[in-house]
Amino acid sequence: MPEAEPFALVDRNRNGLRIAAANGKALSAGVALGTPLPDARAAMPALAVRASEPERDGTALQKLALWLGRYGPSTNIDATDGAWVDVTGVAHLFGGEAGLCRDLTERLGRAGITARIGLAGTFGTAHALARFAGSPSGSGWTIAPPSTEREALAGLPVAALRLDREAVQLLVRLGLKRCGQLYGLPRSALAARFREATRASDRKAAEIRAATLLLRLDQALGTVAEPRRPMRAPPEASARLAFPDPLLTAEGVTAALERLVALLAAQLSDMSLGARSFRLALYRVDGTVAGTSVGTSTACRDPAHALRLMRERLAGLDAGFGIDVATLEAERLERLEACQSSLSTGTNDASIAIGTLVDRLVGRLGRGQVAVCEPAESHIPERSEVWRLAMEAPLPGVSARVPPPTHPPRPPLLLVPPEPITVIAEVPEGAPQHVVWRRVARRIVRMEGPERIAPEWWRHVGASGMQPGTRDYYRLEDTTGARYWVFREGLYEDRPDDQPEEDDGGGDDTPPRWFMHGLFP
């Protein structure tokens, strides 16, 4: 929508359509925010109107806050109409605070966003300046030099203090229209005035409002600290590179990545730390962010390894119209002492080599694809061990040992879940004579068993999805020489003419069921 046309967004509420936002042309023609649409139309018949979409606004703000990461590590959205970024110690990169604001305004302007920027030593003052300060010389930004929050706030309306509508109306009724008027007031008197001005039933709310007012004022003036929650926790170590000419080619990005990794590795080395995860963010000139993150199975600060992991991910990266800022952050830091690098080019230490390999496999295939075997606390065959993700398990080679082989042999291949089979036996409790598995009948010539494995009575779901029963395992060999591990879940002892026993076996009235559980060589 071009700036030349008067334009507004409307909200539907209880009383009909109201103006939620308007552009400069409409505002200057007398369209006030919050007025009903018919009134606004009366003032300006040519007003173009669209329905406002708060959800999409929120999404766009999130993206904007993410993009602001190019100016500082901690950012987040602010209320429903703004975003903040902590620029402590980074202004010099842009030639001072004014330079930073100019850069930000220009970039947002190119993206079609008219920005109003407030920069101050406290969060509350910056919030107020961005929304309520008329900027000098129409530049779009207002900067409060250090420890001048009092002066900067003094002339602003009380609404700038992030108060609710009732509180603002009350203050205006009391004649307190500017923040500066609040400075000299006795604090207890302010609360008393709030109480007197409201009905008796709202006394409690009035006290809360008064307390909020004082807190907001103190926070804006910097006498009370205000905790902020960034979208992501700021990294403990990070490296940043800005490029005068946007990077467009894969070679350029790779070269930049090499420098970033080297910078970060030097930082980590100084701190005797290694990272388990690296996050790369590439800021494109058109205001979008591309990024990737890689994880490692052990703490790492080896530039070559980190570089190789990330290069895998750069393959599908779209540079768009070019990348002008890149940041690399180290996350999940762990203690990593300096160690002697090997003289030969090959890695001598097997654990390092295997860790490197695991990282590469996980980086390319995904976390869920690489696993190591770990024993688990259960005597049920399929639960007695788990294949844990290699990234979460301790390093291969140092993992806990699975108990040594027991005498009844176990199959090297286990069907999970066990597959139901049909079994014909001579006598109900006897060994199988014929087995039908996967629709093929197999005649059994040799068998060994049963080996009884009692159920875990503290669990409630067995192989058949019901209360687990006692398992009787058999090793079978058919006429072709194939060997199977089958089991019968449940017992035959529950005869209908018997007294129903409250026993652990068999389930209720269901006959025992047979399952194929493993394949022997």
Partner 1 sequence: MPSEGSPSLPPATSAPTPRSSALPETRHWTLGEATIDARLPGGGLDPAATIEIKPATHADWASVLAFAACLAVRRLGSLAPAASASQVLWCTTRAVTSEHGRLNGAGLATLGLPPETILLVETARRNEALWTLEEALRSGALALAVGILDAVDLTPSRRLGLSAAAGRTPLLLMTRPDTPPALSSAVRMRLSRRPSAPHPFDARAPGIPRFGLTLERCRGAPVSDETVSLDLEWCHVTHRFSLAAGLVDRTHATGDARQRAGG
Binding residues for partner 1 (CB under 8 A):
346-350, 353-354, 356-358, 360-361, 364-365, 369-373, 375, 381, 384-385, 387, 390, 396-397, 399-406, 409-416, 433, 444-448, 475-477, 479-483, 518-521
| Between 243 and 520, CB nearer to partner 1 | 520
Place of tokens 């002008």: 324
In this structure, the number of other CB atoms found within 10 A of the CB of residue 334 comes to 11
With contact defined as beta carbons under 8 Å apart, do 198 and 205 qualify? yes
Query: Residue 373 Cβ, how far from partner 1 at the closest point, in Å?
Result: 4
| Between 67 and 515, CB nearer to partner 1 | 515
| Between 340 and 480, CB nearer to partner 1 | 480
CA distances (Å), 37 to each of 5, 9, 24, 113, 448, in order? Answer: 17, 10, 17, 25, 87
Instruction: Give the ranges where 198-344 is alpha helix by DSSP (H).
Output: 203-221, 250-271, 303-314
Query: Residue 330 Cβ, how far from partner 1 at the closest point, in Å?
Result: 24
| Between 77 and 463, CB nearer to partner 1 | 463
CA distances (Å), 140 to each of 43, 69, 162, 473, in order? Answer: 27, 20, 21, 79
With contact defined as beta carbons under 8 Å apart, do 362 and 295 qualify? yes
| Between 201 and 406, CB nearer to partner 1 | 406
| Between 36 and 450, CB nearer to partner 1 | 450
With contact defined as beta carbons under 8 Å apart, do 293 and 280 qualify? yes
| Between 233 and 353, CB nearer to partner 1 | 353
Query: Residue 432 Cβ, how far from partner 1 at the closest point, in Å?
Result: 10
Tokens (6 digits) for 346: 């090959």
Query: Residue 300 Cβ, how far from partner 1 at the closest point, in Å?
Result: 15
Q: Are strands 7-13 and 48-51 parallel, antiparallel or unpaired?
A: parallel
Query: Residue 434 Cβ, how far from partner 1 at the closest point, in Å?
Result: 11
Query: Residue 436 Cβ, how far from partner 1 at the closest point, in Å?
Result: 15
Whether omega for the bond prior to residue 409 falls within 30 degrees of 0, making it cis, is no
| Between 258 and 385, CB nearer to partner 1 | 385
Provide the CB-side half-sphere exposure for 140 (13 A, CA). 16
With contact defined as beta carbons under 8 Å apart, do 470 and 480 qualify? no
Query: Residue 311 Cβ, how far from partner 1 at the closest point, in Å?
Result: 13
Alpha-carbon distance 470 to 513, whole Å? 11
Query: Residue 388 Cβ, how far from partner 1 at the closest point, in Å?
Result: 10
Coil vs helix vs strand at 70: helix
